[in-house]
Amino acid sequence: MTDAKSPPDVAKEASATLTGHACVQSYLKTLDNSPGVYRMLDAQQRVLYVGKARALKKRVSNYANPNGHSPRIERMISETSSMMFLTTKTETEALLLEQNLIKQLKPKFNVLLRDDKSFPNILVTSTHTFPQIKKHRGAKREKGDYYGPFASAGAVNRTLNQLQRAFLLRNCSDSDFETRTRPCLQYQIKRCSAPCVGKVSEADYSKLVRDAQRFLSGRSTEMQENLAQQMQQASEGMEFERAAALRDRIRALTQVQTTQGINPQTVAEADIIALHLEHGQACVQVFFIRANQNWGNRDFYPKTADAAEPEILQAFMGQFYSDKEPPRQIILSHGIEDADLMAQALGEKIGRRVEILVPQRGEKQELVTSALRNARESLARKMSESATQTKLLKGVAEAFGLDAPPKRIEVYDNSHIQGTNAVGGMIVAGQEGFLRNQYRKFNIKGEDLVPGDDFGMMKEVLQRRFKRLQKEDPDRKTDMWPDLLLIDGGAGQVSAVREIMREMDVEDIDMVGVAKGVDRDAGKEEFHRTGKRPFALRHNDPVLYFIQRLRDEAHRFAIGTHRAKRAKSQLKNPLDEVEGVGPKRKKALLLHFGSAKAVSRANLSDLMSVEGVSEAMAQTIYDHFHEKG
């Protein structure tokens, strides 16, 4: 770090002959009691553990003492052959650095958060006269008001669906808005007020936006009361159509609240984090409470490294909030070791106070109890599924003559229509089932490929996949290398893939070809391995069903990716590619000529007759289409 006391990341080497307690002891004379971060490394220089210390010398001297350690810590010390240190100005700084290094290095003896996706938000834009409401994920670079996080895309979509019914805000892009000449389907089904074609005034639309923002800010009860009064007044004034519209808005808002489940009265903004630990496995449930509303929950299954609850929760929080904004309150099921330090670190990160609580009574305690129940039930389901998955993987090893049950299976499939919009898909399965956060898509780039050349596409996909693996992890230290490849096809495809792998010097990975059997009927698949006769499994063999599920999942993923790519290309307007043609000029051209195709066929004089198109711009448009032709 730039303000650290010592040179960044320099290892202080111990004698190569020392390991364990003796190795740790040899570093004590080089340390002082500055705060900082330490790393313990094995003989191959792999990081075993990353820790932070208020006083480095004092912390390391604890490891040098051969007594009083848990079995986990004793194993870690025994494997230690060297250490690295980095001092910092404060312990808070050390805590933040520790969590960043844990996420980056994934040490063997640290608690690790394995699923760390970003969470979606609802965004009400502020850069347009008629703001758009939409789902947003990732960095908050776009100007507007963000509401979230929501636990999942499904939770956002359900809320957006009802908000559109209640407030009639547009969800179309600005470019679509500018080019519309008549209301879209959203207006017809009463989910948009059609500001694009003047069906609502700017003032009335602004009022709808303010109402939506009030609802998302937690002022729903007040607003529903106002709507009820307006509905009553409209009904008394014989304005039955307006009364019906207001009734529908109230119903939509009630539906949002119903799907949210528990909405606490005394907790305005908090994350409820509950941990259930059983047989060395852990489930952490996180409930998101914002504006007194429950915006969903997500379960996590961190790698525990046999740690206790306080250490697991503290490590989880450090990694979870490393790239997420914490709320004003974090309500925990168990106390953590450095609660004050963690609160200070999170508060400094966002520039306001963060409170960490372990409630013993009241509504907060009830929320924790509910989260704990969810964590316990989720872990029970996970452990049951894991036991079944372990049995299936063992069956795969026995069926295909593998040396050991595979820990990571990769399945590949291609999708295209006569070679167009071609994509390759890779799905991953392992001991925890489908690992969807590790799926990958490959846009086929080979310009010399013959349309429909499935083998050529598979070759490109495999080369890109394994060349990247060889570059990023040549020594296979991570768990990203597969133990088994499933190939869609028979002996020919397996032989071809084997040749591709041989060219890349990756010949030690098992592979199995899955070919449709007689009449291409599911259940009659034949399996092919290099140098062995093809065979089939019993019709009711669980391993057969498992392989079919893997193949079907790969097919579903590839087809879905292809359809998304095709839909995107179909929505693309040729005018979008013309330099200098923005939404206004695009709308003027389409209104004048009727279609982009007509624009491409127009001559210079016709282009110049369009409002807003100068002679130079007309020439640019003309040249764009005719140079392509």
- Give the helix/strand (H/E) hosting 45: none
Cα–Cα distance, 243 to 232 (Å, whole number)? 7
Cα–Cα distance, 577 to 192 (Å, whole number)? 29
8 Å CB contact between 308 and 70 = no
Cα–Cα distance, 628 to 418 (Å, whole number)? 23
pLDDT at 53: 94
Question: Which two structure tokens, joined as six digits, stand for 353?
Answer: 């106070």
408-549 placed in CATH 2.40.50.180 = no
Cα–Cα distance, 493 to 527 (Å, whole number)? 12
8 Å CB contact between 302 and 282 = yes
Name the pTM for this structure.
Answer: 0.73
For residue 450, what is the DSSP state? P
List the chain domain ranges: 10-105, 121-260, 269-380, 408-549, 574-628
Give the SS3 label for residue 158: helix
Looking at the domain that runs over 574-628, which CATH code has it been given? 1.10.150.20
- Give the helix/strand (H/E) hosting 338: none
144-147 and 36-41 beta bridge pairing = unpaired
CA dihedral 147, 153, 155, 157 (to 10 degrees): 90
15-47 in b/e form (b: 16+ CB < 10 A) is eeebbbbebbbbbeeebeebbbbbbbbbeeeeb
User: Which sign does the torsion angle of CA 513, 514, 520, 525 carry?
Assistant: positive
Question: Which two structure tokens, joined as six digits, stand for 580?
Answer: 């200098």
pLDDT at 6: 40
What does pLDDT average to in each consecutive run of 10 residues of the chain (629 residues)? 41 61 91 94 92 94 90 92 94 92 91 82 92 89 89 85 86 86 89 92 92 80 73 82 77 63 78 93 93 87 90 94 91 94 91 94 93 93 88 94 94 75 88 89 76 78 91 86 91 88 90 77 78 86 91 89 72 73 83 81 88 88 73
For residue 303, what is the DSSP state? B
Q: CATH number of 10-105: 3.50.50.60, 3.40.1440.10, 3.60.21.70, 3.30.1330.60?
A: 3.40.1440.10
Give the SS3 label for residue 252: helix
Cα 428 to chain centroid, rounded: 16
Q: Which ranges constitute the DSSP H helices of 321-423? A: 339-350, 362-400
Nearest Cα to Cα of residue 585 among 605, 601, 599:
599
Give the SS3 label for residue 358: coil
Cα–Cα distance, 140 to 405 (Å, whole number)? 43
For residue 324, what is the DSSP state? S
Cα–Cα distance, 225 to 366 (Å, whole number)? 28
- Give the helix/strand (H/E) hosting 219: none
47-53 and 36-41 beta bridge pairing = antiparallel
What is each CA distance from 529 to 107, 399, 404, 494, in whole angstroms?
36, 11, 16, 7
User: Which sign does the torsion angle of CA 367, 371, 372, 377 carry?
Assistant: positive
Cα–Cα distance, 629 to 621 (Å, whole number)? 13
Question: Which two structure tokens, joined as six digits, stand for 286?
Answer: 């996180």
Amino acid symbol at 13: E
**HSE of 620, CA atoms in CB hemisphere, 13 A:** 12
pLDDT tens digits, residue range 287-336?
999 888 888 889 999 999 889 999 999 999 999 998 888 999 999 999 99
pLDDT at 377: 93
Which phi and psi angles does 387 have, rounded to 5°? -65, -40
Beta strands in 249-292 (DSSP E): 269-278, 281-290
Please give the full DSSP string across 115-135, using - where no structure is assigned. Answer: ------EEEEE-SSSS--EEE
Question: Which two structure tokens, joined as six digits, stand for 363?
Answer: 């509504």
Cα–Cα distance, 557 to 562 (Å, whole number)? 9
8 Å CB contact between 253 and 263 = no
Give the SS3 label for residue 368: helix
Cα–Cα distance, 450 to 251 (Å, whole number)? 56
Looking at the domain that runs over 269-380, which CATH code has it been given? 3.30.420.340
408-549 and 10-105 share a CATH fold = no
pLDDT at 4: 40
